[in-house]
Structure 1
Amino acid sequence: MARLRARSRTLLAEVLRPHRGRLGAAVALLLTQNAAAMSGPYLVMLGIDRAIEPLREGRSGPLAAVAVSFAAATGIEYAARRGFLTLSARVGQAVLLDLRQRVYAHFLRLPVAFHERYTSGRMISRLTSDIDSIAELVDGGVESLVMAALTIVSVAAILLWLDLPLAAVTLLAFPLLFWLSRWFARASAAAYRHTREAMALVIVHFVESMRGIRAVQAYRREPRNQRIFDSVNDDYRRSSRQAFRLIATYSPSIKLIGNVTVAGVLCYGGARVLGGETAVGVLAAFLLYLRRFFEPMQELSQFYNSLQSATAALEKLAGVLDERPAVAEPVRPVPLPRRPGRGAVHFQAVSFGYRPDAPILTGLDLTIPAGQTVALIGPTGAGKSTVAKLLARFHDPATGTVTLDGVDLRQVADAELRRTVVLVTQETHLFGGTVAENIRFGRPDADDAAVEAAARAIGAHDFIAALPDGYATEVHRRGGRLSAGQRQLVAFARAFLADPAVLILDEATSSLDVPTERLVQHALSTILRDRTAVVIAHRLSTVETVDRVLVLDDGRIVEDGPPAELIADGGRYAALHRQWRDSLL
């Protein structure tokens, strides 16, 4: 927790550093505003003690001077406050923009493994409710908090200067104020941290339930999900109620102490005025300043709510930004060779496991010549997808090396690797936008002609042209306007347009029914042509046209060869092929 707090302070310093000039100007304006505000009671004192008597004598000059000074102080306070609010709003919005960009960019850089364990609901919570908490503080809480602190310090100094005996009476309340404020600070910090965590759980459960609404309704799990939501929602209610209980104790206590202190000062000050030990104007100014001392302390309980929520939110954001990518960008990248026949892959003594105590691959050796199409076959958990993820460098091997055209993947710049190696999975994700924009996702600088050429090569042009707006047709959320087969063809066109040296198809057709799969077979043969390809599939229809089949079991290659030879050998692949042919009858 201490490390996280230190990281959140570092993050705050980083986002504020570019705005040091504006912050300095804002502080100057705030000090000016405070000085102008503090002059009011002092001018009242001068008006009572030094302007009333001359007024009785027919001289209105002193009172007019005090009135003009009061008006000038009010104008300066207004101008300084307006300038501060304008400047602080600019800085605050720039900081919020920076935080959103940092968090979003960092989420994009983090590996797939992180996103598999960090739910989408928690990510949404970071970018919405946590940022909103910081925005609430930026929009008004900072000015109120700083101004309250300045007022308390300024008033305390002025009280000591005005009348030391009266200030001594006031100081009797300080130990109780100090203890009460420390208690509130500690208790509220824990309460608001719990509140942020409880709110995040509400968002997480809501998002997960809505994303899986088909499964929820199909299995009639609405009552169960409702019970879970009621539980996390009630926890949020209880944590929020605890936070408000703290405010309900702190704020009235401060007001009580303030009123008792004012009463004590009024009685003692009145006695001093009657005894000629102090002036009426001094007592009046002292009481005005005393009210200004306790009023900000009462308001601090409300502002402290925003401060603690924002602090807890900043810690959450700092925790996300503290997550390091599982694969580090090389310090001195080595460019891949630019030559014909690129795409040679080599696994040398590669061992890897998602957990140290559960290895998936052990000492794997594999060479794939440039331009060869290889199919990985084997039971679930054999390591097929792990090979694909290592080749795409979603992970680095624990031991051994994975090379592309003789260069260790750990030495290849991430941007170049993503251009050279493309992974297409069974989760054909289409983004909101047009068909053309989704195909162009593979190469953003491609023009319309290149997009159409890719669609024609894959065999997707006819169905795209038949859409209401052709390539400009909106695909809707997650491509809901297209069928599963059409979405797969768009994904293939996207990969074809990217033109990678190495293409990985990880169960890319497993979600399609058999008739639809047959429709995309032509596209599949087109996309695999003239490049190194690794195909992972349970359906052997996808494997029939490959150059080589590797059968994996328990992270090891147990069969390796052309499909026809493996069938003739009568081994594991032959058995799988026979089962597949029988299933077609």
Structure 2
Amino acid sequence: MSPELRRGLPVVAAAGLFAAVGRLIVPVMVQLVLDHGVIGPDGYRPGVVWILSVAALGAVLVVAAASRFALIRLVRMAESALLGLRVRAFEHIHRLSLATHTETRRGVLVARVTSDIEAMAIFMQWGAMSWTINPVLILATLAVMLFYSWQLTLLVLVLHLLVLPFMRWVQRRQIAAHSRVRDRVADTMGHASETVSAAAVIRAYGYRGAVRDRLDRAVDRQYQAQMSAFKWWAFLMPTVDLVSSVALAAALVAGVTWSEELGIGAGGLVAFVFLVRLLMRPISEIGEVFDNTQAALAAWWKVMGVLDTPVEVVEPEPAEAQELPAGPLGVEVRSVDFAYRTGALVLRGVDVSILPDANVAVVGETGSGKTTFARLLARLADPATGEVVVGGVDLRAVAPEARRRSIRMVPQDGFLFAATIEDNIRYGRPGATAADAAAAIDELGLRAWVDGLPAGMQTPVGQRGGRLSVGERQLVALARAQVADPGLLILDEATSAVDPETEEALAAAMAHLAVGRTTVSVAHRLSTAERADLVLVFDDGRVVEQGTHRDLVAAGGVYARLHRSWVGNTRQTAVRVKAQPG
């Protein structure tokens, strides 16, 4: 149980129990008014009626205040608990391995921390209060009913017990139906997220109809699942109401017919009818509460499924965690194998030694293991066998804060947040100022580019940096890395072609950024490999060649073949550019 629930639940339970017991005062007061103030031996006694009525009114007001207090306290407690759960789920998702994020649709994980927790919030704000008060109210009402007539109480109880097997049968189907609803909601969110993020591609290729059909099918599946879950609630609710009404009618008929044999007078019978009506309210709510509870339980299990997903990249204990040295960091990769959860090895027997302050280019065909190798250097995943040593320390023993401070990876998509250029650069280091962001731009020689933007450093970049080109997003990402000032910089170059001016700015920025630190670049450009101190050539998950650009070209191996392909593509591009009119 969360700390929020442990602190707040006793108070809520006490207030709820008081409110539940307080509701029994009204039927008792009605019986006293009838027996002692209206039809008693002394006839009508207005003084008694007024006193008892005022007392009943006071009791009702106190019960209403207690109920309001319990409800407000419950909502606060529930929101605090769910806030903690949402944060824990969000943090856990960010600690999961790349394999989990790759295998899971983005919308599914988003649903776990949004719609699923919202389903639990709805339950906590109403269903939890119902489960707190109603059982006590039912038991207390039955106890008072027994005081008036155990025979009539037994009659009412037996009629209600007959519906319990049916309710259990419905409950099993409700929980399965609501589990399907949570799956369908996550599926719909995944399709919607994918459709929105790929809007430009959808319009460019005329996929609007096909994508709309796929999204419509996802929405229709969610609708069908929700209707399937709703039909059980719609089936249960009238059944419970019918049984409660039959029980009330049976008690009333039996009480009137055999009042003398049962030893219950007119006032007692009226009070008993009030008590049966009071009993009907929580019982009639069972159908709706059950539906609400099953939805919350289904959502709870989905969220718990995320929290129970093992974290494969386990951080060291704080007492055992080690720091990384300052300055450029050397890298030793020793006998590393790596495979994702399903499939063959992606890296096989990788042995690499990178000196501090070196500028290294990693090249290879698509699928050769370049990006996976770069991710291991940033500890976005751990090797299956072998070890990655940075600055003389096994990465698995490095304190997470030290790793994030000293090792930075710039992904090829240059992900940016929906903020200004300045804000995105300042994300590079906690506490970075506007002056730090401006200094990073100047140090990388990007001032002319920034000054050419509509609002300079305050230019909004849009969602995921959509207002900037691929190359411009990389420029901002490089400036962000400059602010971070890591000892090891890992750069996964963008595969998309950029205009010559941006290409030149990128080359100059990367040259400035490499000064004073170790740089490992997953190279997709000929110029990056040509100026590197060391080139690592990957093929089918292995480092098949390593050396300088000049030596590898002369060797006539895999790199020489890649180099010829690069040169050919570059010449073809240059010819096409010259052939364009104007």
For 1:230-245, list aligned pairs within 5 A.
230-245=216-231
Q: Which residue of 2 aligns with 1:78?
A: 64
Q: 1:88 to 1:276 in 2, by over 3 A?
A: closer
Q: Which residue of 2 aligns with 1:338?
A: 325
Alpha carbons 1:41, 1:288 under 8 Å: kept = yes
Q: Which residue of 1 aligns with 2:357?
A: 371
Q: What is the aligned residue count?
A: 570
**RMSD between aligned residues:** 2.2
2:565 equivalent to 1:579: yes
**What is the CA distance between 1:545 and its match in structure 2?**
0.8
Q: Which residue of 2 aligns with 1:63?
A: 49
Q: 1:572 to 1:514 in 2, by over 3 A?
A: farther
**What is the CA distance between 1:144 and its match in structure 2?**
3.0
Q: 1:269 to 1:409 in 2, by over 3 A?
A: same
For 1:539-554, list aligned pairs within 5 A.
539-554=525-540
% identical equivalent positions: 36
Structure 1 counterpart SS, 2:211: helix
* d(CA) in 2 for partners of 1:213, 1:21: 47
Q: Which residue of 1 aligns with 2:254?
A: 268
Residue of 133, 152, 172 corresponding to 1:166: 152
**What is the CA distance between 1:134 and its match in structure 2?**
1.7
* d(CA) in 2 for partners of 1:334, 1:245: 55
**What is the CA distance between 1:167 and its match in structure 2?**
1.6
Alpha carbons 1:54, 1:60 under 8 Å: kept = no
* d(CA) in 2 for partners of 1:39, 1:511: 79
For residues 40-81 of structure 1, give each alpha carbon's deviation from its aligned partner in whole angstroms, at most 9, with x where no partner exists: 111111222222245855644433332232122112111111
* d(CA) in 1 for partners of 2:44, 2:414: 91
For 1:3-42, list aligned pairs within 5 A.
13-14=1-2, 17-42=3-28
For residues 448-502 of structure 1, give each alpha carbon's deviation from its aligned partner in whole angstroms, at most 9, with x where no partner exists: 3322121012121122233343322322222233333322211111111211111
Q: 1:58 to 1:178 in 2, by over 3 A?
A: closer
Partner AA of 1:205 in structure 2: H
Q: 1:194 to 1:507 in 2, by over 3 A?
A: same
For residues 522-570 of structure 1, give each alpha carbon's deviation from its aligned partner in whole angstroms, at most 9, with x where no partner exists: 1111111222111211322211111111222222222221111222233
2:408 equivalent to 1:417: no
For 1:148-227, list aligned pairs within 5 A.
148-227=134-213
Q: Which residue of 1 aligns with 2:475?
A: 489
Query: Tell me, which stretches of 5 or more residues in structure 2 are unaligned?
Result: 572-582
* d(CA) in 2 for partners of 1:418, 1:295: 57
For residues 168-188 of structure 1, give each alpha carbon's deviation from its aligned partner in whole angstroms, at most 9, with x where no partner exists: 222331331222222232221
**What is the CA distance between 1:337 and its match in structure 2?**
4.8
Partner AA of 1:46 in structure 2: L
Q: 1:564 to 1:166 in 2, by over 3 A?
A: same
Alpha carbons 2:20, 2:134 under 8 Å: kept = no
Partner AA of 1:469 in structure 2: A
For residues 374-413 of structure 1, give each alpha carbon's deviation from its aligned partner in whole angstroms, at most 9, with x where no partner exists: 1112222222112111111111111111101221111001
Structure 1 counterpart SS, 2:244: helix
Alpha carbons 1:378, 1:551 under 8 Å: kept = yes
For 1:245-264, list aligned pairs within 5 A.
245-264=231-250
* d(CA) in 2 for partners of 1:357, 1:432: 36
Q: 1:206 to 1:483 in 2, by over 3 A?
A: closer
* d(CA) in 1 for partners of 2:494, 2:288: 55
For 1:105-144, list aligned pairs within 5 A.
105-144=91-130
* d(CA) in 2 for partners of 1:381, 1:506: 14
Structure 2 counterpart SS, 1:560: strand
Residue of 480, 499, 502 corresponding to 1:516: 502
Alpha carbons 1:344, 1:368 under 8 Å: kept = yes
Deviates most, 428-437 or 91-100: 91-100
Structure 2 counterpart SS, 1:343: coil
* d(CA) in 2 for partners of 1:480, 1:248: 46
Q: 1:535 to 1:46 in 2, by over 3 A?
A: same
Structure 1 counterpart SS, 2:524: coil
**What is the CA distance between 1:513 and its match in structure 2?**
4.2
Partner AA of 2:14 in structure 1: A
Structure 2 counterpart SS, 1:295: helix
Q: Which residue of 1 aligns with 2:78?
A: 92
For 1:427-466, list aligned pairs within 5 A.
427-466=413-452
Q: Which residue of 2 aligns with 1:9?
A: none
Q: 1:60 to 1:411 in 2, by over 3 A?
A: same
Q: Which residue of 2 aligns with 1:296?
A: 282
2:419 equivalent to 1:404: no
Alpha carbons 1:439, 1:451 under 8 Å: kept = yes
* d(CA) in 2 for partners of 1:447, 1:259: 70
For 1:267-286, list aligned pairs within 5 A.
267-273=253-259, 277-286=263-272
Q: Which residue of 2 aligns with 1:4?
A: none
Partner AA of 1:231 in structure 2: R
Q: Which residue of 1 aligns with 2:521?
A: 535
* d(CA) in 2 for partners of 1:503, 1:446: 18
**What is the CA distance between 1:303 and its match in structure 2?**
2.4
**What is the CA distance between 1:437 and its match in structure 2?**
1.1
Partner AA of 2:322 in structure 1: P
**What is the CA distance between 1:514 and its match in structure 2?**
4.8
Structure 2 counterpart SS, 1:172: helix
Partner AA of 2:323 in structure 1: L
Partner AA of 1:93 in structure 2: E
* d(CA) in 2 for partners of 1:58, 1:475: 82
Structure 2 counterpart SS, 1:173: helix
Q: Which residue of 1 aligns with 2:574?
A: none
**What is the CA distance between 1:165 and its match in structure 2?**
1.6
Q: 1:584 to 1:178 in 2, by over 3 A?
A: closer
Q: 1:494 to 1:70 in 2, by over 3 A?
A: same
* d(CA) in 1 for partners of 2:565, 2:157: 90
* d(CA) in 1 for partners of 2:341, 2:94: 23
* d(CA) in 2 for partners of 1:471, 1:217: 31
**What is the CA distance between 1:166 and its match in structure 2?**
1.4
Alpha carbons 1:377, 1:384 under 8 Å: kept = yes
Q: 1:157 to 1:177 in 2, by over 3 A?
A: farther
* d(CA) in 1 for partners of 2:478, 2:384: 32
**What is the CA distance between 1:99 and its match in structure 2?**
2.2
* d(CA) in 2 for partners of 1:492, 1:269: 85
Q: 1:512 to 1:467 in 2, by over 3 A?
A: closer
Q: Which residue of 2 aligns with 1:525?
A: 511
Deviates most, 140-149 or 72-81: 140-149
**What is the CA distance between 1:274 and its match in structure 2?**
5.0
